[in-house]
Amino acid sequence: MMLNDAADDSVLGGYRLVRSLGRGGFGEVFLGEAEDGTRAAVKVLHASWAGDADMRRRFAAEVEQARRVSGFCVAAILDADPEGERPWIATEYIDGPTLQRAVAEEGPRRGVELQRLAVNTATALAAVHAAGVVHRDLKPDNIMLAPDGPRVIDFGIARAVETTSVTASGVVGTIGYMAPEQLEGARLTSAVDVFSWGAVMVYAATGEEAFQAPTQASRIARILGGTPDLGDLTEPLRGIVHRCLDKDPERRPDASALLTLLIAGPNGVTASGPVLPGASAAPTLVAPVVDPTRAAPAPVVDPTRVAPHHGADPTRSYTRFAPSRALPAAPSPASYTGPGAPVPAPPPYTAPGAAGGSARHTGIGGVPPYHFVGIRFTDPGALAEAMQGDWGAAVRVFGDATERAALGAWLMNDLGDTVVDRALFRRHADDANLALASFIAQLRPDLPPVFRGLGATLPELAALFSDPRPVITGAPRSNEMALLARPAVLRLMGLHHGADPGAYQRLADSLDTAEHAGNAFHQELTGGLAGWRAAVPNVNPALILTFLLHPERMTPPSNGGDNGVGEWIDILWRRVDASPGPVGVGHATAIYGALATLQALARQRRYWEERYTEVSTEHETLHAKVEQQQRFFRIRRYCNHALFCLPIGLVLDLSGRAEVLGGFLVSVAVLAFCASVVLSVVLRVGYGDPVRRGQRVMELNNAAARLPELTSGVERIRADLLHARRLTGG
């Protein structure tokens, strides 16, 4: 299922592809080397995508976006050929880790280092936005820490500011660093990058995400309605980051104002948040802080009352909450055909599940209308149907505290509705889409299920989740799938009438079980294997739902031509084979989410084993040569000592008392002299001068000192593989 291209040992645009630096769903990045020695990061589109016209267009757009951005603080583009047989782009090679890896391995940034990171990344953001570009996927993995400062990389899903109006199928980004409006599918501006910057700074300072949660569904809920966890982030940066993480994009500073706030230092922050130097306590460039969880004032209503007080004027409750606006003229009696079309006066409507006519809304007799997209509604059922048909406009109603309170007042006070859950209007809506879906399902369960404008019947879900590639590659459609693949959404869709009313509940339960099993499997690996301790869990509910709806798609991922990755997949997949049902699906999804970890482990293993082999071979070679060299040196030294036999032998021979012994000693001395001369020549020719021989001994000692660490590294990696086999029953 994964795209499988073997690494090319070839030349593209004058760059020789030396080795792979990383691999994604759409392409692979190689270390390229030009003839003059210049190094570049060469991103090559996968062969399987090269024939896709849309992918070529996106790749060409990436090149164009990168060229529009000034080269400081970003990875500058060097050359590109988006129209070639294998489209490629060469950017500045940055010799350094990503922020994600640096924090995972070295810990959070502190003090001046954190301030420098904040200013430099904000500068890069200002340059990106000055070029009319919205990055839309700013995250720690897309910030490289070069020796001369951080660089922002990967404009693969960037878009120009003037074309950032996205539809339901166009949500892109990385959950955890996405702004609420990205998740909601609203029109995007450069404010989404400011939100992402704030989330990145929290990770850099604390090592944790600002909206950390055990599951993806709960992370989404926290981003949409929860408060960020800023950890021990200190002022003045804390106040600036808090402003950047505001739910309302209008209240976030733009990149230029953000940079000014960072440069202003401690004087740029007040009790109500950061302000520009010289500004009053009520800043002019950044709106005052407003509690995003505070709803508009609601009328005092008896919570036990389900109908208006006796004698209450039914025309006042809604109108006093509705925003001041001119009412449109009454529509013609043409039939309602969609958002913006006129609607006739509806027939009497009986709320689903009501007995007799006790919850009947007549739509006549003085009941005030509710206005939605310029249309007058007196029947909540017709309103629910219209809202389902114009999801974008409806979600703005439920996302705005004042509008939601006005709708609640109309339903509860004016109509005396007894069907819709009061909590939809009396509590802060963490997720406006879920609130809207609940409203529609309670009033009109007879309608087919729809979520965020997408049909959500079981056949439609099966069709939407039939292809796992968007989830695996991170294509724009993947985040929309992730928003649908939540147990809470599935359970709401199950409230609509259908052939199998329990199917959604079973699917939601299976999704819950699978996600928890996947996270537990990942924790088991990170807790038991040394190489996994910094691995970030990535159990994608959209991929889980794909496998639940299409079990035949659940096959082991491709190893990408890397045998080391393949070995890990073979080991871990045994757990999938041993765990059928939702648990096995969760384990499979955890493996797919850990592919980046597997690739890193495979690279580490190759590095350590290659270095171990290299150093151990060097050690063996040096050891043999030094040993031989030392042996010859010792023999020559003995020969030099034997030269003392010459004077002794001469004395004995001349004295006449031991002529035989004297002659023998003289012969030994002569032979020792000859041997010493020969050995000196051998040492000089075969082993170098004394300085070189001394260096060889030092090299041997250095190799011997490195071997224990390399041996430990190799043994640790092999121990991880062995332990993984035990964990998976292999």
Domain residue ranges in the chain:
11-92, 99-274, 313-349+362-447, 489-593, 611-727
Is 137 part of the annotated catalytic residue set? Answer: yes
Query: Which residues, 6 or more positions from 281, have their beta carbon under 8 angstroms from its beta carbon?
Result: 270, 271, 272, 275
Q: What is the DSSP string of 630-660?
A: HHHHHHHHHHHHHTTHHHHHHHHHHHTSSHH
Beta-bridge partner residues of 242:
none
Are 150 and 121 within 8 A, CB to CB?
yes
Beta-bridge partner residues of 593:
none
Give the pLDDT score at 292: 36
The CATH number of the domain covering residues in 11-92: 3.30.200.20
Question: Does 625 carry a binding-site annotation?
Answer: no
Give the pLDDT score at 155: 59
Q: What share of the chain is helix, strand, coil (3-state, %, to 5)?
A: 50, 10, 40
Distance CA 730, CA 728 (A): 6
In 3D space, the residue among 187, 91, 190 whose CA is nearest the CA of residue 133 turns out to be 190
Give the pLDDT score at 448: 94
Give the three-state DSSP class for 89: strand
Give the pLDDT score at 442: 94
Active-site position among 8, 9, 81, 137: 137
Structure token digits, residue 655: 């004295």
Q: What is the DSSP string of 297-365?
A: P-----TT--SPPTT--TTTTTTTTSPS-PPPPPPPSPPP-STTS--PPPPPEE-TT--TTTTEE-S-S
Distance CA 522, CA 629 (A): 54
Which residues of the chain register pLDDT less than 50?
1-9, 156-172, 267-364
Distance CA 197, CA 191 (A): 10
| Backbone φ and ψ of 52, nearest 5° | -90, 115
Distance CA 42, CA 30 (A): 5
The CATH number of the domain covering residues in 99-274: 1.10.510.10
Write down the pTM of the prediction: 0.62
Give the pLDDT score at 327: 32
Give the pLDDT score at 518: 94
Give the pLDDT score at 676: 87
